[in-house]
Chain A
Amino acid sequence: MGPGMVPIEHVLVLAGLLFVIGLFGLMLRRNIIFMLMALEVMLNSAALAFVAAGARWGQPDGQVIFMFILAIAAAEVSVGLGLVLQMRRQLRSLDMNDAIRLRG
């Protein structure tokens, strides 16, 4: 481990914290935009863990996976935002609990 390099444990703790923050945001928030943002945080925490692991073992795989996650996050956000627009139009609300009538 060279000078100025951040130890991997720190990065993993940071990733874990980000993941938990995202998870709680997803669980507790009711506004769909905040829920999507929380999802982004969780995806990014996972991506961070991949990048850190790739750097630790000197392998490119971590960065490759990061690219994948980036693509998936973009796709997810585009679909999610489309849903947000529809929800706004149909329900005149962004509260997820107002969409509860969709259940079977």
Chain B
Amino acid sequence: METLLTAVPLLPLASAALLLLYGRNLPKPLVTGLGVGSVGLAALAVLSLVMQWQEAAGPVTVVLWQWLSVGSFSVDLALRLDQLSLIWLCTITGIGFLIHLYSSEYMDSDDNYSRYFAYLNLFVASMLLLVLGDSLLLLFLGWEGVGLCSYLLIGFWYRDAANGAAARKAFIVTRAGDAAMALGLFLLVAQFNTLNIQDIVEAASVAWSAGDTLPTLACGLIFAGAVGKSAQLPLQTWLPDAMAGPTPVSALIHAATMVTAGIYLVARLSGLFLLAPDVLLVIAVIGVATALMAACAALAQHDIKRILAYSTISQLGYMFLALGIQAWDAGVFHMMTHAFFKALLFLAAGAVIECLHHEQDIRNMGGLRNRLPVPFWSVLIGSAALAALPLTAGFASKDLILLRVWEVDGMGAWLWTVAAIAALITALYSFKLVFVVFFGDIQTEPSHQPGWRMSVPLALLCALSILGGWIVLPLSEVLPLQAEDPAHGAIAIVSAAIPIVGVALAYLIFQTRQLDVSAVTESGGGRWTAQYWLEGWGMDRLYDAVLVQPYARLAQWWRGEPMDRVVAVVTGAAEFIHHQLSTTQSGRLGRYVAVLSAGLILLLTLMLLRAFA
């Protein structure tokens, strides 16, 4: 079992190394075999781990070697498998394999085919290290590794300057959160002299009591890292721009796996976060605010990928809301179902985009229902799950979150109201997508049908998006859960009815056009709001004005070398004195003698005055 566990991150890592070093010279089928096969083998290994899990008594730890040792502080390079990391392993390798398979067709005609698979494999390896790391340091290594791969893949088509800018933006914005997270890790090291996750949680529950300043500070800093990585307010601006990368990358990194690393971090350190109830409250409020704002922004987008990007931000907000109200299992469950249906939506959107000559604007799409049946059914099922219609996986998890939120004392009703409004808007925009793209009149004729390597992953993800809700996650041993099931009262019926109302509204507005909203959308305020939401609540403009422009101006100022002017005062003074003094070196002996005698007389006079005074 230990060997199998070690092989899981090692397989994609080895394939990434091979492809990075020799990828250019390898024949294309071999590149495909390495890139897709390594992740497929890792998925098989994970499957076998799941089979053997029942036999294992508890968490499995594999210490590979001692990583570093400084004085009394040492870190082992150790992998640890428990139920929580097992769930992420299944998601990463399972969905990762499907997306790799899909990519082999999607990227087929790209010149940099092997570079693409090298980066994608490196990403999978980093993500696996992230969730398997026994210490926060190894987790941080994986954390930065996935950030690097995200940067490389967003800027994959680097010849377009806008893609490079999007990649840099993603890297720099998440770095702001990572810096805070590193500070949080330093704080933990200073307090407990260890980075082993189990040791820290145990020591913290002894040394700290709930509500102390130190756990609040540490959890706040670590949560800031999660905010950056999982694109929550106020660091969410990078994710919509990250859509510049290839669509399978958006599906794997920016929907299914990497952006849920923040969820994993908070769930993994749940024991620590319980000591900081204030931070948990902040997590819940940020989560629900992000869910609502991103849902509104998604409603106003025209680019199919940006709609999905904003909906990802919104769904991540739901997950953080669940974590914030200590419904840990609901948050992790929603992470898993979201990975199913969002990967499905992205891959289906990618298929549509590819079959329509890389058209991404939904206003130029329409009537594709009969033309592209596989993407149609995929988007329909994915949207149903995203909108959380009953009998889908999305319903199972999102409904659980809503019910748990309702039961929270004090803030519960408020949080529920905001989350319910966001759920309504979610249903509205996800079925707006379905109706606008697949119904109505044909706008752009598709050039071809997706092949089997794209259709099979779509079909499998369709099945998961419906059946995934019945998976029971064995989380009771690793997360501090409340035992009782949420009550099923009137609120359960209301929660279940909300998405249906949203879909009905979308049908009336975008399909039959019986409900005429042009009076609202065409008014001045409506236009302004739509434009404001289209720009993602103006956050980009705000950051541009407050951070980017002042920084650019500062850089411009420094380019003029202002420090040189300070140094120039010294050199200027030296030169001036030099010129003044060099005139005394006239070479005329008479003057030298005169000055010499004058000095002599002066000295003599002074000596005599002293002697006689």
Interface residues of A (CB under 8 A from B): 23, 26-30, 35, 96-97, 99-104
Smallest CB separation, A18 vs chain B (Å)? 15
Please tell me if B525 contacts chain A, counting CB pairs below 8 Å: no
A30 CA to B589 CA, complexed, in Å: 9
Q: Is the CB of B589 within 8 A of A103?
A: no
- Is B597's CB under 8 angstroms from A97's CB? no
When distances are taken between beta carbons in the complex, the residues of chain A under 8 Å from B597 are 23, 27
Besides A27-B593, A27-B597, A101-B587, 19 other A-B contacts (C-beta < 8 A): A23-B593, A23-B597, A26-B589, A26-B590, A27-B590, A27-B594, A29-B590, A30-B590, A35-B589, A96-B589, A97-B588, A100-B586, A100-B587, A100-B588, A102-B587, A103-B585, A103-B586, A103-B587, A104-B585
Give Cα A26–Cα B593 distance, bound, in whole angstroms.
7
Q: How far is the CB of B580 from chain A (nearest CB, A)?
A: 16
* Interchain Cβ contacts under 8 Å between A and B, 21 examples: A23-B593, A26-B589, A27-B590, A27-B593, A27-B597, A29-B590, A30-B590, A35-B589, A96-B588, A96-B589, A96-B590, A97-B588, A99-B587, A100-B586, A100-B587, A100-B588, A101-B587, A102-B587, A103-B585, A103-B586, A103-B587
Bound-state CA distance A27–B593 (Å) is: 6
Question: Which of chain A's residues has its CB closest to B582's CB?
Answer: A104
Could you say which of A23, A27, A96, A103 has the most chain B C-beta atoms within 10 Å of its C-beta?
A27
Interface residues of B (CB under 8 A from A): 585-590, 593-594, 597
Bound state CA distance, A28 and B588, in angstroms?
A: 11
- For the complex, what is the distance from the CA of A22 to the CA of B70, rounded to whole Å? 81
CB proximity of A17 to chain B, nearest CB, Å = 15
CB of B600 to closest CB in A, whole Å: 10
Q: Which residues of A contact B590 (CB under 8 A)?
A: 26-30, 96
A30 to chain B, nearest CB (A): 8
For the complex of A and B, list the 10 residue pairs with the smallest distance between their C-beta atoms, beginning with the closest.
A103-B587, A100-B587, A27-B590, A27-B593, A26-B593, A27-B594, A96-B589, A103-B585, A23-B597, A28-B590
With a cutoff of 8 Å between Cβ atoms, the chain B residues found around residue A27 in the complex are 590, 593-594, 597
Chain A residues with Cβ under 8 A from B586's Cβ? 100, 103
Provide the residues of chain A in CB contact with B588, threshold 8 Å: 96-97, 100
Most A CB contacts (10 A, CB to CB) among B585, B586, B593, B597 go to B593
Chain B minimum-CB-distance residue to A97:
B588
Within the assembled complex, what's the spacing in Å between the Cα atoms of A27 and B586?
Answer: 14
Which of B590, B594, B597 is packed against the most chain A CB atoms within 10 Å?
Answer: B590
Least distance between B333 CB and chain A CB atoms (Å): 88
Q: Which chain A positions have C-beta within 8 A of B585? A: 103-104
Report B-chain residues with C-beta under 8 Å of the C-beta of A96: 588-590
Taking chain A's interface residues, is the majority helix, strand, or loop, or is none over half, making it mixed?
Answer: helix
A26 neighbours in B (Cβ, 8 Å): 589-590, 593
A23 to B598, CA, bound (A): 11
Q: What is the CB-to-nearest-CB distance from B585 to chain A, in angstroms, rounded to a whole number?
A: 6
Residues on B with beta carbons closer than 8 Å to the beta carbon of A97: 588
Residues of chain A contacted by B589 (CB below 8 angstroms):
26, 35, 96
Q: With a CB–CB cut-off of 8 A, which chain B residues contact A29? A: 590
Contact partners of A30 in chain B: CB under 8 A? 590
Assembled-state Cα–Cα distance A62/B329 (Å): 113
Instruction: Tell me how far the C-beta of B366 lies from the nearest C-beta in chain A, rounded to whole angstroms.
Output: 89
Which of A101, A102, A103 has the most chain B CB within a 10 Å cutoff? A103
A103–B588 Cα distance when bound, in Å, is 9
Residue of A nearest to B589 (CB): A96
What chain A residues lie within 8 Å of B593 (beta carbons)? 23, 26-27
Docked CA distance A23–B589 (Å): 12
- Min Cβ gap B603→A in Å is 16
Nearest residue (CB) in B for A99 is B587
CA distance A52 to B82 in the complex (A): 113
Shortest distance from the beta carbon of A87 to any chain B beta carbon, whole Å: 13
A99 to B586, CA, bound (A): 11
A14 to B270, CA, bound (A): 107
User: With the chains together, A4 CA to B458 CA distance in Å?
Assistant: 138
Which B residue's beta carbon lies closest to that of A30? B590
- Looking at the assembled complex, report how far the CB atom of A49 sits from the nearest CB atom of chain B, in whole angstroms: 15
Measured CA separation A96–B591 after assembly (Å): 12
Chain B residues whose C-beta falls within 8 Å of the C-beta of A103 in the assembled complex: 585-587
Please, how many angstroms separate the alpha-carbon atoms of A30 and B588 in the complex? Answer: 9
- Closest A residue to B585 by beta carbon equals A103
Most chain B beta carbons < 10 A, residue from A26, A30, A99 = A26
Chain A residues with CB under 8 Å of B587's CB are 99-103
- Which residues on B sit within 8 Å (CB–CB) of A100? 586-588
With the chains together, A35 CA to B592 CA distance in Å? 13
Q: Closest CB-CB distance, B574 to chain A, in whole Å?
A: 18
In the bound complex, residues from chain B placing their C-beta under 8 Å from that of A23 are 593, 597
For the complex, what is the distance from the CA of A101 to the CA of B593, rounded to whole Å? Answer: 18
B598 shortest CB reach to chain A, Å: 11
User: Distance (Å) between the CB of B56 and the closest chain A CB?
Assistant: 89
CA distance A102 to B585 in the complex (A): 11
How far apart sit A100 and B587, CA to CA, in the bound complex (Å)? 5
Distance in angstroms between the alpha carbons of A26 and B589 in the assembled complex: 8
A104: nearest chain-B partner, CB-CB: B585
A29 CB to nearest B CB, Å: 8
Min CB gap A40→B, angstroms = 15
Query: Smallest Cβ distance from B601 to chain A, in angstroms?
Result: 10
- Complex CA gap A39/B585 in Å reads 22
Cβ of B602 to closest chain A Cβ, rounded Å: 15
B597 → A minimal CB distance (Å) = 6
Q: Which chain A residue lies CB-closest to B594?
A: A27
Cα distance, A102 to B588, chains bound together (Å): 10
Alpha-carbon separation in the docked complex, A24 to B317 (Å): 99
Q: How far is the CB of A104 from chain B (nearest CB, A)?
A: 7
Inter-chain contacts of A28 with B (CB < 8 A): 590
Least Cβ–Cβ distance between B587 and chain A, in angstroms = 3
B561 to chain A, nearest CB (A): 33
State the Cβ distance, A38 to closest chain B Cβ, in Å. 10
Nearest CB in chain B to that of A35: its residue: B589
Closest to B590 in A: A27
Report chain B residues within 8 Å CB of A104. 585
Q: Which residue of chain B has the shortest Cβ distance to A23 in the bound complex? A: B597
**Chain A residue with Cβ nearest B591:** A27
